[in-house]
Structures are given as structure tokens and as C-alpha cells.
Amino acid sequence: MQTLLLIIFVAVLLTGIILGVIFRKKKGAFILIILSIFLINVPVMLLMTSLHERALKKEMAEVINQHGGELKSIDHIQNEDTPFGNEYNKYNDIYRVSYYKNNVLYIAWYRAVKTVNNIHDQDPSPSGGGYGEKWLFNE
């Protein structure tokens, strides 16, 4: 689904640019084209983001379950002190995952990648760098 949405996003954007160049001298048509691009691509982008977040949460729940735990909560961490230190960048999201295992509360840390079609990407930046997906368990 995310791949299809990405294709739609790019197709609408490219079509809009081509039509914008063709109709650049007709102010009304040009404005209508620009508005159409935004009206179509903003909901597509929001849906892509929502699907990505849902996939990440599903992945976190599955990993905790495979680890023998029961998920309590997932917290998205913004620029706080984490066990990853400086090993994250704009291509990553950091999550604090609380879970119960044998009736004891534990905290795991998850460094997710923002790659749309591959949440397990180990090279999330376009140039092949960045920090890949990683789990840290504190048991």
C-alpha cells in the first residue's frame, strides 16, 4: 500500500509540474494546477505517514511478543538522553518501549528508520549512510 501511495504522490507531482510549465502563462489554470497538487498530495502524504507509524507499532509489538514480553506502552522520544547516544539522525525515530515479562516491567529502546517501504533498512539515507534499525533490551 505504501508503494502505491508513493507512486501516486510522485505521479501527481510530476504531472502537476509538467502541466504547470505548459500552462504557466494562464494564471487561473496555473493556480488550479498548484492547488490540485496540494489537495491530492497532502492527504496521500498523511496516509503514508500513518501507515508507516502503524507498521512500526506492529513491528514493536511483534518483537516484544517474540521476546516473551507483553507490551505496555510505546513512547516516541524527541531529543532526550537515550542509550543510542549520538547514533541517530534525521532518518531515525527513537522509541521507548515498556513491556512486562514475568510480571516485571522492563524498558526496551528501538531506533526505527524513516524509510517508507522498508522499516528494517540498515542504510536509511539516500547516499547510503545513517543508522539502521536497532533494538536495545535492558533485562
Going by pLDDT thresholds of 50, 70 and 90, the confidence category of residue 26 is very high
**Does residue 131 carry a pLDDT above 90?**
no
104: domain range? 2-137
Residue with the bigger pLDDT between 88 and 38: it is 38
- Cα distances (angstroms) measured from residue 1 to each of 8, 56, 59, 109, 124: 11, 15, 17, 27, 20
**Does residue 90 carry a pLDDT above 90?**
no
So what's the pLDDT on residue 80?
73
So what's the pLDDT on residue 106?
96
Structural domain total, the chain: 1
**Does residue 21 carry a pLDDT above 80?**
yes
